[in-house]
Amino acid sequence: MNKPFIVYNITDYMNLEKEVKDIKDRNKRVELDKEWEVSFTRRISIAVLTYLVVVIFFYSANLPKPWINSIVPTAGFVLSTLSLPWIKKMWIRKN
């Protein structure tokens, strides 16, 4: 019995190479996104931006000591973002 002879042309090969490259590029982007989500830089950035927004709000609302009183809501927000990975792990184990 003769095996079928498959002819691949250069276009098919180049398309396959492009698809593999696209998949590798996408995987790299996904890995970087995952690293960013748990990075210390992201957490610090969120804390600083949250603090500044709360200070501006407290200052514009004429609340006392906006620079000091903004620490509490900022700390609460940062703590809530830090606890989510732990909650996510529990949720994954449960499901």
At residue 5 the predicted structure's pLDDT band, cuts being 50, 70 and 90, is: low
- pLDDT tens by residue, 42-77: 889 989 999 999 999 999 999 999 999 999 999 988
R_g (Cα) of the chain, nearest Å: 25
Q: Where are the domains of the chain?
A: 10-94
pTM of the predicted protein model: 0.63
Confidence check: pLDDT of 1 > 60: no
Own/partner contacts of 85-91, CB < 8 Å, gap of 24 or more, are 85/38
- pLDDT tens by residue, 76-86: 888 887 767 77
Q: What is the pLDDT of residue 3?
A: 62
